Structure 1
């Protein structure tokens, strides 16, 4: 009887030890989901991480915010001391040496222009003073004003020197800007940084241009809704993301209402006039930068040519909404 009780005690003890170890293991691997909103690059960024605890999550989010700030200080055309502002300042005068990161981003942007025969063009920034979408425009720009500005648009006038890492804009008055892919690039870089810190899941969302990885704290995939541009209370589709990105371009949020007509902020680089035919394009795939390039280009190209472009990239899909 004594031996039986001893065996039972040993069994109970080992079971309790196993249960305690299991609880300790679960506690050690418990994850929390923390989300913070920040104002960066002229937009709201929502950064979500699945981390060990809320304090550590906050620290990691701040590191991601620092990365986004670093990128903005390189490529913003609105901040006067950035490398891109210097490139614009010396347009038609001399080349400007830039960091390799800026050089490579510009090289990719030119490649995107070549892929679309100019439907995508970072030198469209020359039209910033012609079309203003902050609510202050009261009349349409004149044909002369548009023609005058379009002459400074053209990716073929952006000269890269890979040996000296310089960018030169051939025409005085030219400007380049990364409003079309900059936030997508920042989202990708934010994801890259957080992954390198060991964060197993999260989303870096730059006002709709987002990069996700991993899963939520309950191991469920991330769910991202694609808004109906004609009814903001409804979703066209809810996408499940693991390692993936999403970018949306549209005419329904940023536009100018002139003479009873809505003019979208996405400009056709060839004509200098806002794109027409499509209300929104949402592209999903591995990279937010590339998805942003595609969504912007499809808005300019239109439904038929846009779908033809999309077919070249098997890893990317699109939800296209036509104008009513």
Structure 2
């Protein structure tokens, strides 16, 4: 009996040691969500659990898309747009809160970020079909319905009203970051040790790699996306990058970015890319667009006034400019 007990105890110890020696694995999946490329990476005890956790994140992102999508005619956002100039629309606390935060960012950025940009008529084409500049009259007409100050929110009834027919809101400059944040929050609540939610360049991280090393993010060279200016560690943090190197049009020898200033109706100039670092991907996403529109000097001055937020700007001459808290030197 004693021998049998000793044998069983030895076997238990061996199994326990084996479990202790079992290493976590990195599981990664790339898929299309919200009309863009998502890459979800998690640290897990094994591949099966890793893919289960990734599926949870995907479900959360799909849930958010059904709320904020402008393409889904049954989404809360579409209902708000369909009732512009007609009546207020009751929305979920989640969407109401997102719109409130978006309006605050509009205030901070003096309207450079504005979810009512979706009201703009599509007079700029970046699909290769545009051969001449739109007229000044068309540009002015395109922005008449834009203005975040026009959005009417009723906190008690949780309703949203766009007072002018034809007004629209859209979350193209904040939605991916918000979805990445929520997917991360869900996985953290499920005790997933570490990972990255990368929503086409808007990414958020937590924990560390399997090796215990920090996650790194590269600042890309806009002239060559395969080259990196510098690698920066990001710990329990987020980053978003806006760039003009993928969508643009060249007219009369001048390059026009797909990022349009909602205040003027004209594409931005002078900047090739903006990377924003902060705790929330939602904030990074919105501020990357805002700084791109505000320009290098005004944009960086604003970033330097916001605690916990940093920026790296690459101008049209491929020179790098940084906010005061970015401590690295780059030699392109």
Structure 1 length normalisation: TM-score?
Answer: 0.91
Change (3 A) 1:79 1:141: farther
The within-5 A match list for 1:49-128 is 49-127=42-120
CA distance in 1, matches of 2:123, 2:189: 42
CA distance in 2, matches of 1:82, 1:15: 60
CA deviation profile, 1:175-221 (whole Å, cap 9, x unmatched): 11010011011111111111111101000000000010001111111
The within-5 A match list for 1:1-324 is 21-27=16-22, 30-127=23-120, 129-324=122-317
Deviates more, 1:253-262 or 1:226-235: 253-262
Structure 1 stretches lacking a partner, 5+ long: 1-9
Give 1:132 deviation, angstroms.
3.0
* Alignment check: 8 A CA contact 2:121 2:142 kept: no
What is the total number of aligned residue pairs between the two structures?
Answer: 311
SS of residue paired to 2:264: coil
SS of residue paired to 2:133: coil
SS of residue paired to 2:232: strand
The residue that corresponds to 2:324 in the other structure is none
CA distance in 1, matches of 2:227, 2:170: 33
Give 1:133 deviation, angstroms.
2.6
Structure 2 length normalisation: TM-score?
Answer: 0.89
CA distance in 2, matches of 1:177, 1:158: 13
SS of residue paired to 2:301: helix
Greater Rg by CA: 1
SS of residue paired to 1:283: strand
**RMSD of Structure 2 on Structure 1 (CA):** 1.9
